[in-house]
Structure 1
Amino acid sequence: MDLITLVAEPWADYGLIDSGHGRKLERYGRFSFIRPEPQAMWAPAQPQWQADGDFIAASDDDGGGKWHLSRDVPRGGWHVQWEELRFLAQNTPFRHLAFFPDMAPQWEWMRERTGEGAEVLNLFGYTGVGSLALAAKGARVTHVDASKKSVEAGKANAFLSDMADRPIRWMVDDAVKFAAREVRRERRYDGIFLDPPKFGRGPEGEVWRLEEHLPGLITHCRNLLDADSKFLVLTVYAVRMSALAIGELLRQATADLGGRVEVGEMAVREEARGLLLPTAIFARWVRD
């Protein structure tokens, strides 16, 4: 398997302005923010940064921290846009801004392979931007997330995008349990997209550990695909894991389906110098 790089380019409502010395400066709509970024080991292009907010990480390794925001930043969020979609950006306690802009190339890639009436499953769907991107192309989307708050945010984003009437099933559920039930129901999907966290809990306290539970979930996903299915996309953040490793996992799981597996890194292009800031790894099976 060859390694490829998917690059998220700047767009009107998002851009990586500068990066370096373990931090990054980004714009989200009309606001700019500074966040920790361990992979930005180089020096920044600009000696001084001006921002509307700064996330200060906790001194321990639990991933905590706190936002320090100017009074102008709406605590309830503000509207941003990607292509025809409108959705909410917001400063979350987990240092994110309620969507992942580096996913844009994956959304575009899946949209190219999604036709009217296609059945698509989005596991760990978060606030639903990926689900809306596919529904906008006519797909019937099943969106699954263990967080009721995230699913409600997805519904709100659908309303903002004038897509509240689109055929999207919004499910608050544990991804592994849901996928296993779909296998027993003999359901099938034209495409599956999953973006699992390193660790998480389901709505009934179910524990998710990526390294332990991912192989079984991929097996369930394979059993939800058939000879007419088009894609299976897996993205992984913040783990000591190789793209080649998750690529081999998908290759073995989909070997009987034909098609091919692509693996690589996801990155965002910095506006200051054009350099690439890596963000995640991915593997995806596709039938062209």
Structure 2
Amino acid sequence: MTLETLIAEPWADYGLIDCGHGRKLERYGRYRFIRPEPQAMWAPASDDWDAHGEFVPGSDEDGGGRWEFAKPIPREGWPLGWDDVRFTAHCTPFRHLGFFPDMSPVWSWMRDQVSDLPHPAIMNLFGYTGVGTLAMAARGGEMVHVDASKKSVEAGRRNATLSGLADRPVRWIIDDAAKFTAREVRRGRRYDGILLDPPKYGRGPEGEVWKLEEGLPGLIGDCSKLLDAESRFCFLTVYAVRMSALAIGELMRQAMAGLPGKVEAGELAVREERRGLLLPTAIWARWSR
């Protein structure tokens, strides 16, 4: 299996300005932030980083961390956009800012896979604040958005309103992704595409425990049962684990063995603006017809 890198290029409302020595400097609209980045092992282009805030990680024992702000920012968040989707960015306690910019090439790729379908049925598992959901809904997708966090689903609804997409056919579902997918299999549902972005560890709304290494094979297997020979894609991203893209690629290949098409795998990366170097962020595997 040949590995491919999907690269998030800078756009008007986001850019990786600089990175190095275990940190990265990014712009989110008019605001700039510094966050930890263990994979940035090289030296930065400049030592002079002017930022509005920085996330300072906790110790290995304590975990977590905190934001420290040098300049005022809107604590309730501020609007950003990607293509025809609008959403709110804000500094979360989990060090990110309410969306994942490295997913932008995935959103574009998914749109291409179903561009000839007027109303493709697509499910977004672990959908978070819904930017991927809205990227597809904006192009006519009939979406099922699933996340265990009520707060995240509510943020997705607000982003839909901000994007002028509140009237689009999106089912906003607060549920355990694995349990919901298994029920969809029993219901005999089918989808044209599935996007899943599972965490390493998480809990469902009723205390269900999710561990990636244990739960992913069964979840991918259930996803394959919701696809058929006319379906277009299944895209999986995996973050923050000691796992190879080849491993999840072979898992995807086994699960999709009964479907026509191809399986590919690789890494996600963001291109730095100052030097053009690539900062790796995640691994991925996908099936497409």
Q: TM-score range by the shorter chain?
A: over 0.9
* Structure 1 gaps, min length 5: none
Q: Which amino acid aligns with 1:254?
A: M
2:226 to 224, 240, 252: 224
Look up the equivalent residue of 1:108 and give its one-letter code. S
Partner of 1:128: 130
Q: Deviations over 1:191-224 (max 9, x none)?
A: 0000000000000000000000000000110010
Matched, 1:4 2:24: no
CA distance in 2, matches of 1:217, 1:266: 21
2:258 alignment partner, SS class:
helix
Match of 1:178 among 177, 180, 186: 180
> What letter is aligned with 1:157?
N
CA distance in 2, matches of 1:35, 1:227: 43
Shift in CA distance, 63/228, structure 1 to aligned 2, threshold 3 Å = farther
Q: Which residue of 1 aligns with 2:18?
A: 18
Give me the whole-angstrom Cα distance separating, in 1, the residues matched to 2:188 and 2:142: 17
**Hey, what's the Cα distance between the residues in 1 that align with 2:81 and 2:119?**
24
- Residue 148 (structure 1) aligns with: 150
Following the alignment from structure 1 to structure 2, what is the Cα–Cα distance between the partners of residues 240 and 63? 18
What SS does the corresponding residue of 1:219 show, helix, strand or coil? Answer: helix
- The equivalent residue for 2:82 is 82
Tell me the alpha carbon deviations over residues 144-190 of structure 1, each in whole angstroms, 9 at most, x when there is no partner.
Answer: 00000000000000000000000000000000100000000000000
Q: Number of aligned pairs? A: 287
Letter in 1 for 2:93: P
Asked if the contact 2:195–2:234 (Cα under 8 Å) also holds between the matched residues in 1, the reply is yes
Residues 98-156 of structure 1: per-residue CA shift (max 9 Å, x gap): 00000000000001112321100000000000000001110100000000000000000
Output the amino acid matched with 1:83. D
Cα distance change on mapping 1:62 and 1:242 into 2, 3 Å = farther
Give 1:48 shift.
Answer: 1.4
Within-5 A mapping of 1:202-213:
202-213=204-215
Where does structure 1 differ by over 3 angstroms across 4 or more consecutive aligned residues?
A: none
- Return the letter of the residue paired with 2:260: G
Q: Secondary structure at the match of 2:179?
A: helix
Supply the distance in 1 between the matched residues of 2:138 and 2:112 (Cα, whole angstroms). 12
Contact 2:53 2:71 in 1 (8 A): no
How far residue 64 of structure 1 moved from its aligned partner, in angstroms, is 0.3
Normalised to the residue count of structure 1, the TM-score between the two structures is 0.98
Deviation at 1:70, TM superposition (A): 3.8
Counterparts in 2 of 1:227 and 1:92: CA distance versus 1, 3 Å: same
Question: In the alignment, what sits opposite 2:171?
Answer: 169
CA distance in 2, matches of 1:23, 1:61: 20
Provide the residue aligned with 2:140 in structure 1.
138
What residue number does 2:56 align with? Answer: 56
Structure 1 Cα separation of the partners of residues 206 and 132 of structure 2:
25
Aligned to 1:34: 34
Name 2:113's counterpart in structure 1.
113
TM-score, normalization by structure 2: 0.98
Are 1:285 and 2:254 matched, yes or no?
no
| Aligned partner of residue 27 in structure 2, secondary structure | strand
C-alpha displacement of 1:89:
0.4
For structure 2, the 5+ residue unaligned runs are none
Task: Give the C-alpha shift of residue 63 in structure 1.
Answer: 3.8
